[in-house]
Amino acid sequence: MRAGGDDPIRATTVKSKLPASPAAKKVEEALEIPNTFRRTSNLYEVGFFSAHQQLSEALASIHGLENQAERDAVTKGVFAYLASHEPLHETLNAVRLLQSRDRSAALFSTLETITSGNEETMQRAKNYTQRFGLEAGVAMALAYDPAFQPEHADVWIAAFEEDKGIGAMKGTFAAVMVDSDPARALALGNDLKGWDREVFVRTVSGQWAQKNPGDAWDWIQKSVGKFEAGRAESIRNVLKNWAQWDIEGAGRALDQLTDPAERLAAVRALAEQKSFQRGTVEAVQWADSLPTVAEQDAAHAVIGRHSPQGIGAAITISEGYPRIGSLLPNGAAMRSGQLQEGDRIVEVDSGTGEFQNVYGERLEQTLNLIRGESGSTVRLRVVRDDGSGTFIPRIVEITREQIVLEGQTEPVP
């Protein structure tokens, strides 16, 4: 290939497949352009103006091309025109006439036109399509764009009602619309069943709870059936968000539950926030007060994961070496009597049986080696200045434990 993208020896496009029409002739003329960038730009323009003149011919010209990049260029032009000049329902109906290989270019061009090329929205669409499929992913990205209108939801749902991602699509539309028109938003899930209904419930409750967990909670209690899949997870999501700003209110919501599975989900959500906001001591006391052993065990497991576990010593960096700072009162390090403030850590065996040199390492790297599961053992090779300038090396072995903090505190290893 020559400089500038010239490609005189291109794979032959089967021109005989192009229907004899003004649009097809313009496509054939564009295909003769040797420069790749100019050829693609010209094909886009052909698609745009052909859609304006005769849509059926424009779509037929797409089907007559074999090279996917060339098909995409014409497709993007066609749907940029439709999205900017025609009602959305006509644009999406045209998408449905395309072969599956061309739908991505069509829908992304439509989204780009509606949202004026919002980069954040376009990136969100790429992420969502990987998780929820093309039609649902693009729709969900549109829902979060400032250009979104409730009418977009109606049209998109009508066009792709049978899409495999309809539950997530409707759920996202509902979550965005629920504050302004809750009845209309929540009605989107009324006809869904099975997996689609479960996804709808989880999507709406999870996103609604970030803005108004109290209303999301009321909806779950009144409108989501006791035996619906996704109910317990939705309860957990709502209470987790609720507890972030009103932990007492979330606790009262827990008291309303009677189903054991739902209570366990709620307990796990509250335990996480209790350990973050109130500290390990109060969180453990709360866990011990729960009415069943299963709930107590679930709460303690969450508190253990979200509370620091280590040796109970602050670590700093000085002259490239990690040094022992203050010791947590009655912590593992203090009780062992083997460490004192100022000890220099030279190497750490996190439990693998091999020491790792920590000189010059970032503090976070050293902390990750020292921290670990409660009950496991860590070995430190430390040196201590005996006061005469002589450093005495020794190996210290300490059993890690859950660190009990009073109130919200920076974690220590």
Write the pLDDT tens digit of every residue in 248-277.
Answer: 989 999 999 999 989 999 999 899 888 777
- Are the C-beta atoms of residues 309 and 372 closer than 8 Å to each other? yes
Both 378 and 391 in one domain: the answer is yes
Residue 70 lies in a domain: no
Both 335 and 372 in one domain: the answer is yes
Cα–Cα distance, 264 to 257 (Å, whole number): 10
- Are the C-beta atoms of residues 359 and 346 closer than 8 Å to each other? yes
Cα–Cα distance, 266 to 270 (Å, whole number): 6
Residue 225 lies in a domain: yes
Residue 276 lies in a domain: yes
Both 239 and 297 in one domain: the answer is yes
Both 224 and 270 in one domain: the answer is yes
Residue 411's pLDDT band (boundaries 50, 70, 90)? very low
pLDDT reported for residue 1: 33
| pLDDT tens-digit series, residues 374-399 | 889 999 999 987 666 677 789 999 99
Residue 282 lies in a domain: yes
Residue 2 lies in a domain: no
Residue 337 lies in a domain: yes
Both 320 and 266 in one domain: the answer is no
CATH of the domain at 361: 2.30.42.10
Both 350 and 389 in one domain: the answer is yes
Cα–Cα distance, 51 to 56 (Å, whole number): 8
Both 301 and 317 in one domain: the answer is no
Cα–Cα distance, 52 to 86 (Å, whole number): 10
pLDDT for 413 beyond 90: no
Residue 368's pLDDT band (boundaries 50, 70, 90)? confident
Q: Sign of dihedral through CA atoms 57, 62, 65, 71? A: positive
What is the tally of structural domains in the chain? 2
Both 216 and 282 in one domain: the answer is yes
Both 299 and 340 in one domain: the answer is no
pLDDT for 141 beyond 90: yes
> Going along 176-250, which residue ranges are E strands?
none
- Are the C-beta atoms of residues 313 and 326 closer than 8 Å to each other? yes
Residue 152 lies in a domain: no
Residue 270: both structure tokens together: 């509250």
| The last residue of a domain, from among 307, 325, 355 | 307
pLDDT reported for residue 365: 87
Residue 144 lies in a domain: no
Q: How large is the greatest C-alpha to C-alpha distance in the chain, in angstroms? A: 97
Q: Is 407 helix (H, G, I), strand (E, B) or coil?
A: coil
